[in-house]
Structure 1
Amino acid sequence: MLLQRIGNRGIRLGTLFDRAAARYPTNVLLLDHDLDIAPERGRSLTMTDVADLVGDFGSRLWRAGLRPGEHMVIYKSNAFDITLLAIAAARIGAVPILLSPHLDGETVTVLLRRVDRPYLLTDAAKLAGFLPDTVFALSRRVLLASGTDERTTSLAELAEAPRVPALELPPDHPTLVTHTSGTTGIPKLAVHTAFSLEARYRPQALATALMRRREPVAIHVSFVHSRLFTALAISLLRGFPVALLADADPQRASRLFARVRPAVLEAHPNTYLSWEQLASDPLEPLSNVKFFSSTFDALHPRTVRTLIGASRRWFPRFGQIYGQSEVGPSVARSYGRRRPPEADGRCVGIPFPGMTGVRVVSRDGKRPTSSSPGYIEVSSDGRIRTYLGEQGRFERQAGERWWRMGDLGYRTRFGCLHLMDREVDEIPGFGSTLSVEDRLFSRLAELSEVVVIPMGDGPPRPVVCVKDDRPLDRAAWRAAVADLPEMAAPVQWRQADLPQTATTKIKRLELARLVGAGEGAGDERAGEPA
């Protein structure tokens, strides 16, 4: 097994900042927001500052009664202290369970039921506006990161707690629980170990391995996603200054990037889509980026081409990694100015040699092709160990070696994996919806989003968003779809109204339900001729 070659300790989350501070004590972590648990610390912290903060709050959690092996659910307002509190819990041997701030209270309640009376760490805003009172019965104790509530214990009340030394659990013991995207329903709770996280670390470390100098890294990744923890380990243990963004607003990002001048940039695909406008920003916020990275979904070729064109580095690259919460990064490829993404269509890359494997299983007994894609399956030591509270569901999807991704695709004779559609999103007889969406993006610069969804009583319907919410140019649309598979007239929505996951993926099934029910910001335009 690959794990035997990785080492016997795995990623030690609890001491991440201690080790970063020991190596590079003055290295800087920059934020675009204040920490709810320590606003007085400001937005620029050294590794020594962060290590002290994690040690302090780990001791407060211990004083609150949290002990090694126990679960603590973290569901609070969006800020980087979500990640810091998770590391603080891991530092004392507890197992943090991270829930996105974007989840609704009902979903949080369902997930709490899957855990055996955990500690719940939230804040007054979430408790008052989102969470039902039933969370008190489902939790052993409710802690507040900020604000006050007489039914809870505030972490502020536990200040000056005696410092507790870091405690390491065995590397095959659960160390972190994150949730899946929830694009098709209630999210699942994915259990990671130090071993599985280390297996994910190795392929992703290639980005900074290409950097000869310690230049700034900027990251806009959900604070509850496992990717953020490996990204931090990769960057901070090598001494790279890191800027973390809670807000993807292009104007705010532009000002921060113009000041920091990141050389490595990582974000969700839809965030990159919204950042296309930075390519023409007079501040040239992307001019120093040498390596763009995205580890969540395939990006639209227009986005890749636009962002690479904004860099002034000699050989900028765009690294695209295809993976999943359950298995981590699985296949990868990169693009440059000389090899545009249009060259290989929906190719998402090849496996990492010696680290991951991929196969496509036929659905009709024949070799999978673009016209008859098969089931994509991945093998990786980065695979989670189970779904917390749903072991049976995990076993139904997990073979001894292979993990079914829930996606359809095929491999070329050169080994390139082509991603066609999610299994649940396939529209029989239509072809790849993702490919059609790519072509629409490339042909219509005004689009900021397009999602082709099935309709039960007719051809698929495109849901479109236009930059600055301007009306769609119907003549340009008709020209763009002339040679594409038959589609119904487009319906225009405001992008802010699209149902999204914590990583900004569009919830296609939910969107199809809303459009079918005549709901949504743009439903009044649905009847306009295509």
Structure 2
Amino acid sequence: MCAVPDVLTGILRSTREKPGTTAVVVGDEALTYREFETAAAALAARLAAAGVRPGQTVLLYLRQSVRTLVGMAAALRLGAAWCVLEPGHPPERIAALLRDVDCAALVLDGADVPAAPRTARELAAGAPRPLAVLEADGPAPDPAASAPPPPPEPVHGALPAYTITTSGSTGEPKAIVVSRDNLAHMVANRVDEPGLTTFSPCRFTWDGSLMLLFLALCSGGTAVLPDHRGLPDPEAAAALVVHRRAARIAAPPSYYRLMLEHLAPARGHLSEVILAGEAFPASLVAQHRAVLPDTRLRNEYGPTETTVTVLGHPVTGRRPGRPGDPDGSGAAADTGGPVDPAGDVPLGRPTGTTHVHVLDERLVPTPPGTVGELYIGGPQVAQGYAARPAGTARCFVADPFAPGPGARMYRTGDLALVDENGDIRFRGRVDGQLKVRGIRVERHAVESALESHPAVRQAAVLGAPDGHGGTRLVAFWTAAEAALALPGTRELMDLCAERLGEHAVPELLVPVGHMPLAASGKADERALLALLPDTGAAPADGPDGPDGTAGPSGHGWTPLEQAVARLWEKVLQHDDFGPEDSFFSVGGNSRRVVELHLSMQREWPGAVRVGRLFDLDTVPAQAEALSTAATTAPEAPAPAAALTEAEAEAAPAAPADPAPAAAATGPDPAGDDGPGQPDHDRRAGRAAEEQP
């Protein structure tokens, strides 16, 4: 059995001790611990009546909301696992998941997503096992029944807690099974300060969202997250941090960079920021220090297969004390040390009982400073891949360094070294996998998807620098000799989205006359990257669109629409779009929408907030918003979720004159997609909503 408390035990303890405290906030919805427990128990009873048993999986087919969290807790009460997949996820990928996982029930919200019931019925009809379909909001419990729900039966720690999907080399998702013991150890390694209010601007489809969620719930704190409407808007996310007085944040670096300029009012209560899920650009350290000089900054690393994160490095630190005066001397003490802006930030050292090794191909530890493959052992190593014994055996190998028999370690595929300080540093990948905006992308799967088009002969997919410390996905392709017509950018992007999901859509598609080859016979990556246009240059297709029309000027745009369309051209690097096209259906994503917003800010300061561009997603709609703004006051930020009466009484007054953000910490359009989740774009979700 697990040597640390099960997470459900921690949640129930918090409910007994703090029933009236707010447990969870998602957007503008909030539940106290008593309300959260009552709702979870009611849904668990319905799931049990539908036939869900310990060890099975409950598929939460829900947009991000409080209902999703209730579904997670309900599954835990039954000894079942949860798996979150949001509406708009490609049905073929969900069907593949149902083939691999013993899924007994699907929970949906038909009121929120009208197309969800039909999709759920189709999935249930094609599922290999009986699949019960339940509405998230079922019959409410009898209000006259004041007795608390009965405690759940004890369950074994080896049972799965959740299943989460990640990209496989063939393009089909791999379902990673994480046990209750795994999750319990991750939480136990973090509970250092009870009662915290935490914030994670992440989707539940990324395991990084679980980091602070369960830390808060198991220690009597409050977990705050944006809902599906607030996720794309870093300014609204920062407003939620300030309004809820969050003490700890966990986010991908690219999203945090976009929040940072709005976080100066959080100086009085934000004690720590944890960045994880993607490469940490060293330049972000100075920006953080300028805005939040007294807030600790920490880099963390961990594959999904090792339960969130297992390595950590304190980039900046503080000795104990109040913010701004950590040692009582009146002088701030930064213990993080200097950081080379042009260098890399270490992944750090193991947390808790995790142990890591940098090994050569014979599983022999490499000397310090020598690159090898990173292996991770300890109680956070997941159970493996559902229905994939060969893949599990290949990646989850016997641990020769463990004190007892039967232990396993995870082979990450990441290249690393141990530096002179004993910290682990990342040095690349051993395979063709890329991480784009924190999401794993198998580039060979994208190449296969593109080459499935009859007019495409060969494709090469690379990760190219995006100019902001991140990576963008770029595809080069050659035409088949028999092709009568060449596909447009939009057609190829749609093909990748349908086959693999939004996260695998290249940001730029570059047709080439022939594929340059290296001496190995493979595509010459250096030669291909040299073909990329500058981000500020004209689109690769030139002044005319791929179909020979005159780009934006060929659609009868008004002058203002043409000005907006030119900004689209610059950001998207192509002009294959028309008046009715959504920005997100022609290659846009949340990183690019931030770039678009920055361009608009230069031309029309304060005219439209970035969050509105996710709804006003066509050229005419954006032009109309700009025209309207010219005669009205600039938009104010969206209101944050309201505090409960008890919280309002307990919350200290906000500072009368919060320190302004440093002028040098302007937003960086580096992307804001949380790892392990689809882009915060609206293409798939809108398509699902509009189905009859």
Q: What does the per-residue CA deviation read over 1:433-490, in whole Å, with 9 as the maximum and x for residues that have no partner?
A: 99x959x537xxxxxx543758653525399999xxxx7389xxxxxxxxxxxxxxx9
Match of 2:536 in 1: 472
Match of 2:257 in 1: 273
One-letter code aligned to 2:18? Y
Q: What does the per-residue CA deviation read over 1:244-266, in whole Å, with 9 as the maximum and x for residues that have no partner?
A: 22333122113222322222111
Following superposition of structure 1 onto structure 2, how do residues 35-46 of structure 1 map, counting pairs within 5 Å? 43-46=29-32
Match of 2:417 in 1: 410
Q: What does the per-residue CA deviation read over 1:336-367, in whole Å, with 9 as the maximum and x for residues that have no partner?
A: 25524437624211223643222232599995
Following superposition of structure 1 onto structure 2, how do residues 63-212 of structure 1 map, counting pairs within 5 Å? 63-101=49-87, 103-116=89-102, 118-124=104-110, 125=113, 127=116, 133-138=122-127, 139-145=129-135, 156-157=138-139, 160=142, 165-180=151-166, 185-205=171-191, 209=192, 211=193
- Offset of residue 237 of structure 1: 3.0
Match of 1:496 in 2: 590
Q: How many residue pairs end up in the alignment? A: 444
SS for the counterpart of 1:278 is: coil
Q: What does the per-residue CA deviation read over 1:276-323, in whole Å, with 9 as the maximum and x for residues that have no partner?
A: 4325xxx6345532100134233222234323432253xx21111111
Alignment pair present for 1:29 and 2:13:
no
The answer (yes or no) to whether the contact 2:7–2:214 under 8 Å persists in 1 is no
Match of 2:378 in 1: 380
Match of 1:451 in 2: 472
SS for the counterpart of 1:297 is: coil
- Cα distance in 1, alignment partners of residues 242 and 533 from structure 2: 28
Match of 2:511 in 1: none
- Cα distance in 2, alignment partners of residues 236 and 250 from structure 1: 24
Structure 1 unaligned spans of 5+ = 35-42, 147-154, 428-432, 443-448, 475-489, 509-530
TM-score (norm 2): 0.56
- Cα distance in 2, alignment partners of residues 349 and 406 from structure 1: 17
Q: Which moved more, 1:491-500 or 1:46-55?
A: 491-500
Following superposition of structure 1 onto structure 2, how do residues 416-435 of structure 1 map, counting pairs within 5 Å? 416-425=423-432
SS for the counterpart of 2:301 is: strand
SS for the counterpart of 1:191 is: strand
- Cα distance in 1, alignment partners of residues 282 and 221 from structure 2: 29
Taking a change above 3 Å as real, the CA distance of residues 407 and 129 of structure 1, as seen in their structure-2 partners, is farther
The answer (yes or no) to whether the contact 2:24–2:224 under 8 Å persists in 1 is yes
One-letter code aligned to 2:398? E
The answer (yes or no) to whether the contact 2:212–2:223 under 8 Å persists in 1 is no
- Offset of residue 171 of structure 1: 1.6
Taking a change above 3 Å as real, the CA distance of residues 254 and 397 of structure 1, as seen in their structure-2 partners, is closer
Alignment pair present for 1:332 and 2:312:
yes
The answer (yes or no) to whether the contact 1:272–1:303 under 8 Å persists in 2 is no
- Cα distance in 2, alignment partners of residues 17 and 367 from structure 1: 42
The answer (yes or no) to whether the contact 1:373–1:410 under 8 Å persists in 2 is yes
- Cα distance in 2, alignment partners of residues 218 and 30 from structure 1: 10
TM-score (norm 1): 0.71
The alignment yields a C-alpha RMSD, in angstroms, of 4.1
- Offset of residue 270 of structure 1: 3.1
Match of 1:264 in 2: 248
One-letter code aligned to 1:156? G
- Cα distance in 2, alignment partners of residues 102 and 305 from structure 1: 38
Q: Larger RCO: Structure 1 or Structure 2 (Cα < 8 Å, ≥ 6 residues apart)? A: 2
Following superposition of structure 1 onto structure 2, how do residues 279-298 of structure 1 map, counting pairs within 5 Å? 284-285=265-266, 288-298=269-279
One-letter code aligned to 2:305? E
The answer (yes or no) to whether the contact 1:58–1:89 under 8 Å persists in 2 is yes
One-letter code aligned to 1:503? G
Taking a change above 3 Å as real, the CA distance of residues 363 and 184 of structure 1, as seen in their structure-2 partners, is farther
- The higher radius of gyration belongs to 2
Match of 1:521 in 2: none
2:296 to 305, 317, 333: 317
- Offset of residue 10 of structure 1: 4.3
One-letter code aligned to 2:17? R
Match of 1:361 in 2: 360
Taking a change above 3 Å as real, the CA distance of residues 129 and 63 of structure 1, as seen in their structure-2 partners, is closer
Taking a change above 3 Å as real, the CA distance of residues 90 and 116 of structure 1, as seen in their structure-2 partners, is same
Q: Which moved more, 1:116-125 or 1:84-93?
A: 116-125
One-letter code aligned to 1:386? G
One-letter code aligned to 2:388? E
- Cα distance in 1, alignment partners of residues 367 and 170 from structure 2: 25
- Cα distance in 2, alignment partners of residues 383 and 228 from structure 1: 18
Taking a change above 3 Å as real, the CA distance of residues 461 and 128 of structure 1, as seen in their structure-2 partners, is farther
SS for the counterpart of 1:113 is: helix
Q: What does the per-residue CA deviation read over 1:188-243, in whole Å, with 9 as the maximum and x for residues that have no partner?
A: 212222222222223333xxx2x5x8453222232244444453332233333332
- Offset of residue 381 of structure 1: 1.4
Alignment pair present for 1:62 and 2:48:
yes
Taking a change above 3 Å as real, the CA distance of residues 506 and 65 of structure 1, as seen in their structure-2 partners, is closer
Match of 1:350 in 2: 349
SS for the counterpart of 1:189 is: strand
The answer (yes or no) to whether the contact 1:97–1:176 under 8 Å persists in 2 is yes
Alignment pair present for 1:461 and 2:529:
yes
Taking a change above 3 Å as real, the CA distance of residues 292 and 59 of structure 1, as seen in their structure-2 partners, is same
One-letter code aligned to 1:258? V
The answer (yes or no) to whether the contact 1:183–1:501 under 8 Å persists in 2 is no
SS for the counterpart of 2:375 is: strand
- Cα distance in 2, alignment partners of residues 22 and 426 from structure 1: 46
The answer (yes or no) to whether the contact 1:180–1:188 under 8 Å persists in 2 is yes
The answer (yes or no) to whether the contact 2:56–2:103 under 8 Å persists in 1 is no
